[in-house]
Amino acid sequence: MFTPDDYLAAIDRMLTASGLNRLTAERILAEQSDLLRDLAEDGSNLEEELGTPADYAASLSEQLDEQPQRKSAFSRFSTRPFGALTREGRSHLWDPQDPSILQPHLFGFGWSVNWGAVAVRLGWIRPDDVDADVLGAIPSPVLKTAQGLPIALAAGHLLALSATYGKLPERVHSGWDAVGKPKKATRPRVYLALPALAGAATAGAALIPAARGDREDSLRAASLATVVCAVAPSMLIGNLAELGRMPNPGALSAIAAVAGIAGSLGVVVLPLRSGLTAIWKKEGVV
């Protein structure tokens, strides 16, 4: 009589021979282990249910072959230069089922980070946590808060700019090095309005998926907009710090960038966790 370990060994050999990357292979093995052990604990005869280990591994291999193949890291480079404008493009910003952290850049060319993969590796969510039931169970106040965060950040930026614009010099700095020394040529003061307007436009565009009732994409769009709107005031913050004779204006700009990344993760993770908690409470798990 075959045991779950016999099947897992056969599956492992098949995955190794297939050339699948190890992280994905381990995820498949973990999923199969849960399935096989559940069947064994229920008293099922694995051979009657699944066939021999070799047969089951071959069947699983056929299923994997039928799935769309992931592109290599090189071939995925710079394939979505305007990805932020589409739902499909934004899906790569938050895809917990894809273990690849680096994705083609959503703006221009280069790389963006798949924060879904980061959240999985940090243990905040599982790859299969995002489904229609979880998204539907997110409390409305939590969802609206997440969707509205970029608007609040953009509005705060515009208010701060309008309140301090007259106090700033005619020409302002646009960057500082690690020790706080300006590293770029000065620009006209009106230049400060560009990132503020860009943040406002991004925050407004992030509301479109919400208006369509697409909860999943609305969280992705809010996540992207949160980063943009948190980083957008960096130049204003640096110049105000410089005006106040703070020792390192660039440090405050860096803090804004870190806060943007943290906010981007929180805008998606916290609503998903609240949806999971709501389902667990309904099922009596917690």
Give the DSSP letter string of 104-155: E-SSSSSEEE-HHHHHHHTTSS-TT--SHHHHHHS-HHHHHHHHHHHHHHHH
* Angle separating helix axes 140-164 and 193-205, nearest 10 degrees: 160
pLDDT digits (tens, 9 = 90+) for 34-53: 888 888 888 888 888 888 88
Residue 131 has pLDDT above 60, yes or no: yes
Q: How many CB atoms lie within 10 A of CB 15?
A: 22
Burial 198-236 (b: 16+ CB within 10 A, else e): bbbebbebbbebbeeeebbbbbbbbbbbbbbbbbbbbbb
Placement of tokens 């208010």 in the chain: 159
Token output for 117: 């993969």
Q: Are 118 and 129 in contact (CB under 8 A)?
A: no
Q: Are 97 and 109 in contact (CB under 8 A)?
A: no
Query: What structural domains and CATH numbers belong to the chain?
Result: 4-66 (no CATH), 73-121 (no CATH), 132-282 (1.20.140)
Residue 140 has pLDDT above 80, yes or no: yes
DSSP letter (8 states) at residue 61: H
Average pLDDT of the residues in 58-67: 71
Residue type, 154: A
The model's pTM is 0.67
Of 18, 46, 51, 20, the residue nearest 33 (C-alpha): 46
pLDDT at 69: 47
Q: Are 238 and 253 in contact (CB under 8 A)?
A: yes
For 172, phi then psi, to 5°, come to -125, 160
DSSP letter (8 states) at residue 162: H
Of 225, 196, 195, 193, the residue nearest 208 (C-alpha): 225
pLDDT at 76: 43
Residue 168 has pLDDT above 70, yes or no: yes
Q: How many CB atoms lie within 10 A of CB 43?
A: 6
Q: How many CB atoms lie within 10 A of CB 44?
A: 13
Of 20, 13, 22, 1, the residue nearest 57 (C-alpha): 13
Residue 241 has pLDDT above 80, yes or no: yes
Residue 111 has pLDDT above 80, yes or no: no
pLDDT at 71: 45
